[in-house]
Amino acid sequence: MTGTLFLCATPIGNLSDMTPRVIDTLREVDMIAAEDTRNSIRLLNYFDIKTPMTSYHEYNKVEKADQIVSWLHSGKNIALITDAGTPAISDPGEVLVAKCMEAGISVTSLPGCCACITALTLSGLPTRRFCFEGFLPSDKKEKKFILDELKEETRTIIIYEAPHHLKRTLAELYEVLGERRITLCRELTKRFETIYPTTLAGAIEYYENNEPKGEYVLVLEGLCRRQLMLEKQKEWERLTLKEHMMLYEEQGMDRKEAMKKVAADRGITKRDVYQALL
């Protein structure tokens, strides 16, 4: 019999948020794979959990995942925890889960704290549709590619950021996305929890005079669908109607189908297109 991998969510600040099921599981498994054993030992000591730990983090996530899979194959039950929150969310745990799935190992998740969801619910921004970006990449080209994608994102956007990068990130978001509403959430569930709804320009101005402290979750409003449609219509208007028609006809569309596409692109009727071409 193979063992089971348990994904155990841990508190993001307030230790009272630890669920009884997670506590029981961490006591019962054969081993705990922790992102930082020095940090996790304080959590385990607080709940009097004596289970042995092994380190599993960003810098050993591939080779150590193979070792953990072999332990699971031998019948051991293993719990995965991060420094805070839900494993595999912006976390090397996603590699281990993928390898377990490939190997036919049973994986189950014990839900609990998750910083991105906590921040979203506190943001005052739309919650029905959202996208999670985690930490933006440090590579400039890769970051630019992602920011250009987010420029037309209509869903609410969630980003993690460290205090020493916050000012730069806010400036980059403003430069690419323009003015948007944003809620900055810091030190969630902790004593100095702060929820700051403002705009990107307002946030930039605020942190010119106030030094960022603590870990941040940025919740940013998506682009209004109507605004996106208007911007795309303006792009099409750079072409004449004749050029716009030729674009689709050269792709093999007949004249009637091309007129329908041109009308949709420009937000006008097919009759308007027809009359303009005449």
What would the pLDDT profile of 183-236 be if each residue is shown by its tens digit?
Answer: 999 999 999 999 999 999 999 999 999 999 999 999 999 987 666 666 777 777
With both helix axes pointing from N to C terminus, report the angle between 166-177 and 140-150 in degrees, rounded to the nearest 10: 50
Residues whose CB falls within 8 Å of the CB of residue 222, separated by 6 or more in sequence, listed in order: 126, 129, 153, 154, 155, 156, 157
For the stretch 114-167, pLDDT in tens is: 999 999 999 999 999 999 999 999 999 999 999 999 998 999 999 999 999 999
Q: 38-52, 87-101, 132-146, 214-228: which has the minimum mean pLDDT? A: 214-228
Place of tokens 């949709």: 264
The residues pairing with 41 across neighbouring beta strands, listed in sequence order, are none
pLDDT of residue 194: 96
Place of tokens 């969310």: 89
pLDDT of residue 278: 66
- pTM (two decimals): 0.79
| Per-residue b or e along 211-234, where b marks 16 or more CB atoms closer than 10 Å to that residue's CB | ebebbbbbbbbbbeeeeeeeeeee
For the stretch 254-269, pLDDT in tens is: 888 888 888 888 777 8
For residue 251, with 0-12 CB atoms within 10 Å meaning exposed, 13-18 middle and 19 or more buried, which class applies?
exposed
The number of angstroms, rounded, from the C-alpha of 241 to the middle of its chain's C-alpha atoms is 40
